[in-house]
């Protein structure tokens, strides 16, 4: 698990983790369990209203994007969660160094960066440490230039 925290949101990269259910009510319970673990083990301080975006990818796993929307006025200990599910989202790896992807096909070049769809790589673990994981993009995100096909 990798955690990125910014002022606007918290992002959890849950590699090889898939939710057990597709039912929104049970899914919300699983996410609340994740919140409890973050509070208990990582000393996060959550209170208020949160939007949780779920990005699942068959190859990678799950990415949770936790965005604080508002404070609750009547209690500082309560958490309210609104869940949005985005199944089968595309994940891309991004790097400035072409040689990271030199052994692969379907390499894109856009805005001085090289991109590859994670599904194009057999074992993405070889290159993920030298790349940034891009998620929540439209299917046609990479439209500029296909270098190698």
| pLDDT per 10-residue tile (average), the chain, 149 residues | 90 91 85 92 89 90 92 75 78 92 86 88 88 80 60
Q: Does one domain contain both 77 and 113?
A: no
Q: Does one domain contain both 82 and 105?
A: no
Please state, in angstroms and rounded to a whole number, the distance separating the CA atoms of residues 83 and 53. Answer: 6
Q: Does one domain contain both 78 and 104?
A: no
Q: Does one domain contain both 57 and 108?
A: no
Domain span at residue 45 reads 2-86
Contact 92, 114 (CB under 8 A): no
pLDDT value of residue 65? 94
pTM (global) more than 0.85: no
Q: Does one domain contain both 70 and 13?
A: yes
Q: Does one domain contain both 32 and 72?
A: yes
Q: Which of 86, 110, 130 is the last residue of a domain?
A: 86
Q: Show contacts of 26-35: CB within 8 Å, 24+ apart.
A: 27/54, 27/83, 27/85, 28/81, 28/83, 31/64, 31/81, 31/83, 32/79, 32/81, 34/64, 35/79, 35/81
């Amino acid at each position: 698990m990798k955690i990125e925290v910014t002022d606007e949101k918290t992002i959890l990269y849950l590699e090889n983790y898939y939710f057990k259910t597709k039912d929104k009510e049970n899914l919300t319970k699983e996410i609340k369990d994740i919140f409890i673990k973050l509070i208990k083990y990582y000393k996060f301080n959550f209170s208020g209203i949160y939007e949780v975006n779920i990005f699942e990818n068959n190859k990678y796993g799950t990415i949770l994007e936790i965005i604080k929307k508002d404070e609750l006025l009547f209690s500082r200990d309560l958490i309210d969660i609104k869940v949005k599910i985005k199944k089968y989202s595309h994940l891309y790896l991004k790097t400035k160094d072409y040689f990271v992807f030199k052994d692969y096909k379907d390499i894109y070049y856009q805005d001085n960066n090289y991109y590859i769809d994670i599904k194009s790589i057999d074992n993405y673990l070889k290159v993920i440490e030298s790349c940034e994981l891009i998620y929540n993009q439209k299917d046609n995100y990479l439209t500029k230039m296909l270098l190698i096909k």
